[in-house]
Chains A and B, each alone.
Chain A
Amino acid sequence: MNTWLHLARGPLFWTALAFMVLGLVRQLGLTLWETARVYRRAGDKDLPMGRVVRETGSWLVPVRHFGKRWPYSLTTFVFHVGVILVPLLLAGHVELWRAGLGISWPALPNVVSTTLTLLVIAAALALVLERAIARASRALGRFSDYSLPLFIAVPFVSGLLVMHPTWNPFATDPTLLVHVLSADVLLFLVPLTKLSHMILFPLTQLVSEMAWHFPPDAGSRVAATLGKEGEPI
């Protein structure tokens, strides 16, 4: 068990983390590169950056977008807050970073982390349930849309049990192994799935705006490529 734990916490974790970081950096780099290329080729270089920044900001804290489906929106919001804060600010995790790399930052009180963890677990289940119940999201849902929230909940459930041994019906080490291994797999999945929005999200409004800024002669060039130059309508 110790060997497995050592492997999961050591080489596997660092590999997964590196894969995630490099994967996201690649996606960010490609998106920025392509954005710059689109801008360079655009006939109209006048971008409504004020509106783009406002819209991006408004979705970072999307309270005003909750609307009629506010229970779904609230669940999603809570889920995101927990998923971002707990892995980064849990006292145990901060301690691991300090022990491993000698860097540290302020941690959340354990009671807050526990509460957030419980909320993430509840929200993950609610998201799956809501997706299955709501007609539109059910119609759109793919296997990954159901499985990802549940899989994200695994390290949170196992982490909660590790933090609170009295609640844990299983032995600590296997629970810890599940916690670390599921987190490793999750890190691998980030750049390969829709979870990549964790890095691309700030650019999405800009991307949608840029798409309307066509190159001035794209139409003519398409016609030439397709052999339709001078062809009557």
Chain B
Amino acid sequence: MATPKRYAYHVEAAALELSDRPRRFLEAFAAILRHGSYNLALDTYARMSAKCGRCAASCQLYEATGDPQDIPCHRSELLLRVYRRYFMQSGPLKARIFGGFTLTDEYIDEMADAYYRCTACRRCKATCPLGMDHGLVTHLARWVLAEVGVIPRALVVSVREQLDGKTHNTSAIPLPALKDTCEFLSEELHDIYSVDIEYPFDIEGAEYVFFPAVSDYLMEADTLMGNAAVMHATGASWTIGSHNYDGINYGLFYSDRVMERIVHQLVDEVGRVKGRKVLVGECGHATRSAWHIPTFIGPDGPPVVHCIQYAHQMLELGKLKLKPEKIPESVTYHDPCNIARVGRITEEPREILKAICSDYREMTPNRTKNYCCGGGGGTVSIDEIRGFRTGPLGMRKADQIRDTGAEIVVSPCANCKKQLRELCQDNGMEEVQVMGLHDLLLKVIDFGTDGGNGAGEAHEGDEDEESEPTAAGAASSGDVGVTASARSGAAGGPDGEEG
């Protein structure tokens, strides 16, 4: 049954049938304020917001549209107005004296549109003299909206499968299909690199329990081969848990209530296999969600290691050996907002890329000041807004990529990669390849075997005759071939959503 469309994105039919939404919205807001910690920020913002407009200059969406509704401060004001009126002491008094604002259905609809035009990339926070975090307000507003059913269908369907479904992952990949895919990847590694690498399942007491964006098993075979290759080459003790192998946490995009449950589910799996650390794959929001383990579990939760941090450390320790040949293509790097915005992971990927690429080019601006890919905050999963994502929302990123002239864009994030591919397709840059960092790293790991360098052999087995027989070209061509196979092996995702 087709879902009626009220917003730019689809929501489930039940959400549109909900009655008395303003009252329910206020009840949910009150409950969140009572049990959460958002009062402090909202009180401060509501009192001090200077409306200087500096944030507008840093917002890639406003730069593209020039529409006042896209100014971060304007968007935050939508929720702050509700907060002032209904939750600050002066609100009822001011309303009585000056009349004015009442929360209505139409106002909720306005917020529903506005807060999903923002990717919550938090770039604007750095330009606010008063430190207002508009990404935080978007995060909170989406949670309150979710409690009255306003959630993009693409997100809620995935979460339903992850928390209430049989497979416990957002792409609904059954375990047998996952194991088939892993066997296939092992065979690919053997065929291309002459190295035997297994994907270990349920190894009790493993140091690292691996949680990539589960969609990588469908879409990013090269990234996963790179992950396994690094773990193999460094002799790591690692495992995939057979009960939960999905690092995705869409709760970060629309509900702390959901985020809490997914984090608990992930930590439970680490406990089940008696693992010691969480190893997160190449996924920005999965990493940021995992960094919230202490939030929901406390200081005794398992430590979180990002796969790039691991690879970087192994390179520094000399445990990860590289071939002398470098990737010849020009390569640039896109910082995923969720790992770079506050500066947590910015240098490690660059140091790796500079070590393995002969022509590394920097985007400007970068690191903590990077532009969002245009698909952040879960918007990349919403296919019906692709034109918006690759148009006004992603235009600035497309310009950045074009300006580098790079042939390959590397981004260690499943969301960013999907968005960047669509961005390149829709902006006349079909020739630009988008891939993960481990895809490239895989090509230059010295396994100490007599196997090929991956380039020629991948090309040999590839059906795409236009690809260049180079290491990086093979990364792309291998991606196409392997992805097609992996898809057939692990079909069955609810809507094809990605991490």
Interface residues of A (CB under 8 A from B): 27, 30-31, 34-35, 38, 41-46, 48, 51, 55-56, 59, 62, 65, 67-69, 72-73, 76, 131, 134-137, 139-142, 145, 194, 196-197, 200-201, 203-205, 207-208, 210-223, 225-226, 228, 232-233
**Is the pair A204, B37 in contact by a Cβ cutoff of 8 Å?**
no
Distance (whole angstroms) from the CB of A67 to the closest CB of chain B: 7
Task: Determine chain B's interface SS by DSSP, over half rule.
Answer: helix
Please encode chain B, from 24 to 46, with 1 for each CB lying within 8 Å of some chain A CB and 0 for all others: 00011001101111111101100
Distance (whole angstroms) from the CB of B256 to the closest CB of chain A: 5
**Is the pair B258, A44 in contact by a Cβ cutoff of 8 Å?**
no
Q: Which of B256-309 contact A (CB under 8 A)?
A: 256-261, 292, 294-299
**Is the pair B68, A208 in contact by a Cβ cutoff of 8 Å?**
no
Per the bound structure, the CA–CA distance linking A72 and B66 in Å amounts to: 19
- Max chain A Cβ within 10 angstroms of own Cβ: one of B28, B35, B54, B147: B35
Distance (whole angstroms) from the CB of B67 to the closest CB of chain A: 9
Given A207-B131, A211-B41, does the pair A136, B53 have CB atoms closer than 8 Å?
Answer: yes
**Is the pair A55, B131 in contact by a Cβ cutoff of 8 Å?**
yes
Distance (whole angstroms) from the CB of B378 to the closest CB of chain A: 15
Which residue of chain B has its CB nearest to the CB of A30? B43
Per the bound structure, the CA–CA distance linking A66 and B487 in Å amounts to: 49
Per the bound structure, the CA–CA distance linking A147 and B122 in Å amounts to: 30
Distance (whole angstroms) from the CB of B477 to the closest CB of chain A: 39
Distance (whole angstroms) from the CB of B29 to the closest CB of chain A: 10
**Is the pair A208, B136 in contact by a Cβ cutoff of 8 Å?**
yes
**Is the pair B131, A219 in contact by a Cβ cutoff of 8 Å?**
no
* Residue B2 interfacial (CB < 8 Å): no
User: Which residues of A are found within 8 Å of B260, using beta-carbon distances?
Assistant: 216-220
* Among B32, B39, B163, B342, contact of A233 (Cβ-Cβ < 8 Å): B163
**Is the pair A137, B297 in contact by a Cβ cutoff of 8 Å?**
no
**Is the pair A204, B43 in contact by a Cβ cutoff of 8 Å?**
no
The 24 sampled A-B contact pairs (Cβ below 8 Å) are A42-B37, A45-B299, A51-B342, A55-B131, A131-B53, A139-B74, A140-B53, A140-B77, A194-B49, A194-B50, A200-B47, A204-B48, A204-B131, A205-B131, A207-B40, A207-B41, A208-B41, A210-B41, A214-B296, A215-B37, A218-B32, A222-B36, A222-B256, A232-B164
**Is the pair A208, B125 in contact by a Cβ cutoff of 8 Å?**
yes
**Is the pair B47, A208 in contact by a Cβ cutoff of 8 Å?**
no
* Residue B167 interfacial (CB < 8 Å): no
Which residue of chain B has its CB nearest to the CB of A59? B129
Distance (whole angstroms) from the CB of B24 to the closest CB of chain A: 9
**Is the pair B256, A214 in contact by a Cβ cutoff of 8 Å?**
yes
Given A136-B57, A226-B31, does the pair A233, B256 have CB atoms closer than 8 Å?
Answer: no
Which residue of chain B has its CB nearest to the CB of A27? B47
Distance (whole angstroms) from the CB of A211 to the closest CB of chain B: 4
* Among A72, A205, A214, contact of B36 (Cβ-Cβ < 8 Å): A214
Which residue of chain B has its CB nearest to the CB of A134? B53
* Residue B201 interfacial (CB < 8 Å): no
Given A51-B342, A51-B343, A140-B51, does the pair A219, B133 have CB atoms closer than 8 Å?
Answer: no
Given A136-B62, A216-B296, does the pair A65, B257 have CB atoms closer than 8 Å?
Answer: no
**Is the pair B37, A222 in contact by a Cβ cutoff of 8 Å?**
no
**Is the pair A59, B256 in contact by a Cβ cutoff of 8 Å?**
no
**Is the pair A44, B131 in contact by a Cβ cutoff of 8 Å?**
no
**Is the pair B53, A223 in contact by a Cβ cutoff of 8 Å?**
no
Per the bound structure, the CA–CA distance linking A201 and B43 in Å amounts to: 13
* Residue B230 interfacial (CB < 8 Å): no
Sorted nearest first, the 4 A-B pairs with minimum C-beta distance are A137-B53, A219-B257, A136-B56, A139-B68
Q: Which of B51-79 contact A (CB under 8 A)?
A: 51-54, 56-57, 62, 66, 68, 71, 73-74, 77
* Residue B321 interfacial (CB < 8 Å): no
Which residue of chain B has its CB nearest to the CB of A203? B44
User: Which residues of B are found within 8 Å of A223, using beta-carbon distances?
Assistant: 257
User: Which residues of A are found within 8 Å of B56, using beta-carbon distances?
Assistant: 136-137
* Among B36, B41, B47, B54, contact of A194 (Cβ-Cβ < 8 Å): B47
Please encode chain B, from 67 to 98, with 1 for each CB lying within 8 Å of some chain A CB and 0 for all others: 01001011001000000000000000000000
Which residue of chain A has its CB nearest to the CB of B30? A225
Given A65-B127, A194-B49, A225-B31, does the pair A215, B44 have CB atoms closer than 8 Å?
Answer: no
Given A43-B296, A201-B130, A233-B258, does the pair A31, B37 have CB atoms closer than 8 Å?
Answer: no
Which residue of chain B has its CB nearest to the CB of A145? B51
* Among A30, A38, A204, contact of B130 (Cβ-Cβ < 8 Å): A204
Per the bound structure, the CA–CA distance linking A30 and B47 in Å amounts to: 13
**Is the pair B294, A43 in contact by a Cβ cutoff of 8 Å?**
yes
Distance (whole angstroms) from the CB of B332 to the closest CB of chain A: 23
Which residue of chain B has its CB nearest to the CB of A232? B164
* Residue B402 interfacial (CB < 8 Å): no
**Is the pair B295, A219 in contact by a Cβ cutoff of 8 Å?**
no
**Is the pair A218, B294 in contact by a Cβ cutoff of 8 Å?**
no
User: Which residues of B are found within 8 Å of A207, using beta-carbon distances?
Assistant: 40-41, 44, 131
User: Which residues of A are found within 8 Å of B66, using beta-carbon distances?
Assistant: 135
